[in-house]
Amino acid sequence: MSDLIKHECGIATLRLLKPLSFYKEKYGSAFYGINKMYLMLEKQHNRGQDGAGFASVKLDVDPGNRYISRVRSNAAQPIQDIFAQINERINTQLELNPEILEDIDTQKANLPYLGEVYLGHVRYGTYGKNSIESVHPFLRQNNWMHRNLIVAGNFNMTNVNELFQNLVELGQHPKEKADTVTVMEKIGHFLDSEVGKLYKKLKEKGFNKKEASPHIVEQLKIHKILRKSSKDWDGGYVIAGMLGHGDSFVLRDPNGIRPAYYYKDDEVVVVASERPVIQTAFNVAFEDVHELMPGEAIITKKDGSVHFKTILNPRERKACSFERIYFSRGSDAEIYKERKNLGRLLMPDVLKAIDYDTMNSVFSYIPNTAETSFYGMVEAAQDELNRQKNEAILKEKDSLTDERLKDILNLRLRTEKIAVKDVKLRTFITEDSSRDDLVAHVYDVTYGVVKPTDNLVVIDDSIVRGTTLKKSILKMLDRLSPKKIIIVSSAPQIRYPDCYGIDMAKLEDFVAFQAAVSLLKERGIYQEAMDAIYKKCKDQSEFASQAEENHVKAVYAPFAYEEVSERISELLSDESITSEIKVIYQTVDKLHEACPKNLGDWYFTGDYPTRGGNKVVNKAFVNFYEGKNDRAY
């Protein structure tokens, strides 16, 4: 992706359904669970590199022994760091006590992190600081085992202020407004309440506190706690949690915005943010890994029983399409096919842009995530070249010589790796001209493969802000002196902020918004349009948690889709670029055709799946209009 955008996050949960001795005997190690967690987190490092965390719970531990372990890191390589810490602590204990090497029960009692219930997390810091305090899992401690709560998630809530105020009204004093804290404290409140009610009933039956504890564990209804806790949540989320006694859960939002997949057999229950993560770590087939349904929770009780409960009534499925375009690993069979289709469906517009001249066109991609879409685009281009060959053969059939036939059949599509990203450039120079010159060299170029008579077609995942494209990539490609440079985006125009996980918070950052503003000014209706939209957005109460309508759609309403694309082409070019520039965007209809199961398209269409999303986009416009450099969520 030429413009890096961030996304949070990745989760992994694992419940071992057998005693640790079983895994030692079958797989050669009691640390089977820890090893699998390392694999699952490492296979999701694409989802977050700002921090990583790991927590474990031991079942049936005697009083006086530690049963919860947690480690977090915001180091440069956080996954490796947390598991280096885990390994160091375990190996130190084994070196000091070699007699327990084959004694699994003693290992469990004395070694940290060795348990039966695991929760891991990788984080992209889309909001707030990247301090260690922001890294999941979060821990809510209590001396009662079943009141201990560990929470991690892949989520963003649009109504954090309201959720915070709800906690205050419940009599709590939250230490901060971060959505993870408010979510955990809300669950914790209803957990405490449910435990209190159960104890009261048991006390009336003559049980003392010690006698009541195991009965509370058995009778605790996790789905009831989740229903009460999530009633007011607005956002995209997958929330995972563990209780100190061993119950665990994963809950997905009712629109299915954020992804979650699970696998279960008689040895393990596993949940992760991506399907191939589970396939690889546990060597299971595609069809054995299932998607957690929107609004559903998978709950694993201490006794190992697994329950699927509808926590929130499912709404229209709006699974994030960016998962398919860019974020999720392309090794998923469905995603690989969808990304190829994204490239293939762009080809008709590309062919028009190059006047169907495939023989004088070079096709490439901007490394490396657009590679799969590139394959789809090239296959479609090859189909067109084959059509042209057939047409030539039929046209010349009466005079065709062996030499001419050989020439026609030898025509090949020209594909090259043009852009090579050497390093992630960092500079302390603040002077714009100096910095821009350095940024222009983030990518290097392959010389000698493009002629001045060639079209150069380069596909990218998406064009968000356009900054890297304008200041680096286009200048680099222009050095090859092609006749025409065509930048192809496998994603549609990004027009609106995302408030459910992706770090796109300000309207003025989007080159599509800049293009629409430019067109409004050109038509002489800018101020009139902006004033009208501002009034509608401002009329929305500052304290309302929801909004019925996205008023910012009016910015784009006067213009055809292609008109905005043409203006973006102009904005990304400047007098220093000699080649003709054209930008082609995927259409929303073709996106839906390529990714039929993931129709979450609010950043392209403005059709937010929750009313909290409408509130965010309207607030983003107010910030733009008032000149505030603030986030909208």
Total residue length of the chain: 633
CB contact at 8 A, 420 and 477: no
Q: In the chain, which residues fall in CATH 3.40.50.2020?
A: 323-626
Domain 323-626 has CATH 3.30.70.380: no
Q: What is the pLDDT of residue 631?
A: 77
Q: In the chain, which residues fall in CATH 3.60.20.10?
A: 10-153+238-317
Q: What is the pLDDT of residue 130?
A: 67
| Cα–Cα distance, 227 to 231 (Å, whole number) | 6
What are the C-alpha distances in Å from 470 to residues 19, 388, 457?
Answer: 58, 34, 16
With vertex at residue 11, the alpha carbon angle to CA 185 and CA 137, rounded to the nearest 5 degrees, is 40
From edge to edge, which strands make up the β-sheet containing 290-291? Answer: 68-73, 51-57, 117-123, 10-16, 268-272, 261-264, 290-291
Assigned architecture for domain 10-153+238-317: 4-Layer Sandwich (3.60)
Helix (H) or strand (E) holding 443: strand 443-445
What are the C-alpha distances in Å from 151 to residues 244, 576, 608?
Answer: 11, 52, 27
Q: DSSP for 10-22, please give it.
A: EEEEEEE-S-HHH
3-class DSSP assignment, residue 126: coil
**What is the radius of gyration, based on Cα positions, of the chain?**
28
Q: What is the pLDDT of residue 233?
A: 93
What is the mean pLDDT for each group of 10 consecutive residues in the chain (633 residues)? 60 98 96 98 91 97 93 94 96 92 93 97 69 89 94 88 72 66 90 94 92 93 97 94 98 97 98 97 97 98 98 96 90 95 96 93 88 95 92 92 92 88 51 52 78 96 88 90 96 94 82 98 97 92 71 98 97 92 98 96 96 93 93 77
Q: Name the one residue in this structure whose structure tokens are 């050497």.
A: 422
- Return the structure tokens found at 521: 């000014």
| Cα–Cα distance, 142 to 147 (Å, whole number) | 6
| Cα–Cα distance, 211 to 39 (Å, whole number) | 40
List of residues 6+ apart from 203 with CB closer than 8 A:
212
| Cα–Cα distance, 582 to 489 (Å, whole number) | 11
pTM: 0.91
Backbone φ and ψ of 215, nearest 5°: -70, -35
